Amino acid sequence: MVKKRKNLVWSIAFILPALSLLFVFLLYPVFEAVKLSFYKWTGIASAKPIFIGLENYKAVFQSPNFWLSMRNALFFMIGGFLILMPLAFLLAKIITSSIRGVKFFKVSYYLPVMLPVTAVGLIWVYMLQPDWGLVNSLLEKVGLSEWAMNWLGTPTLNVVSVVLVNEWIFAGFNMLIFAAGLVSIPQDVYESAKIDGASKFKTLIYITLPLMKESFKVFSVLCICGCLKTFDLMFAMTGGGPNHTSEVPATLLYTEAFSSKNFGRGNAIGVVILVLGMVLSIGLNKAMKSED
DSSP string over 80-118: IIIIIHHHHHHHHHHHTS--TTHHHHHHHHHHHHHS-HH
Which residues fall within 8 angstroms of residue 70, CB to CB, at 6 or more apart? 249
* Dihedral, CA of residue 26, residue 232, residue 63 and residue 280, to nearest 10: -50
Across the chain, what does the average pLDDT equal? 87
* Percentage above 70 pLDDT, the chain: 97
Confidence of residue 271 (pLDDT cuts 50, 70, 90): very high
Contact 166, 76 (CB under 8 A): yes
Give the least confident one: 122-126, 166-170, 231-235, 258-262.
Answer: 258-262
Model-level pTM? 0.86
Confidence of residue 66 (pLDDT cuts 50, 70, 90): very high
Domains belonging to the chain, first-starting first, are 62-291 (1.10.3720.10)
Alpha carbon of residue 137 to chain centroid: 31
pLDDT at 76: 94
Q: How many other CB atoms are found less than 10 A from the CB of residue 12?
A: 10
Mean pLDDT of 42-58: 86
pLDDT in tens, 214-250: 899 999 999 998 999 899 999 999 988 888 889 999 9
213-229 vs 85-95: helix crossing angle, rounded to 10: 130
Q: In a 3-state reduction of DSSP, which class is residue 287?
A: helix
pLDDT at position 176 over 80 = yes
Can you count the helices (H) and strands (E) in the chain?
Answer: 16, 2
Q: How far apart are the first and last CA of the chain?
A: 42
Contact 114, 169 (CB under 8 A): no
Residue 259: is it exposed, middle or buried by C-beta count within 10 angstroms (0-12/13-18/19+)?
exposed
pLDDT at 12: 80
pLDDT at 68: 93
Mean pLDDT of 39-56: 86
Confidence of residue 125 (pLDDT cuts 50, 70, 90): very high
Distance CA 215, CA 222 (A): 11
pLDDT at 174: 93
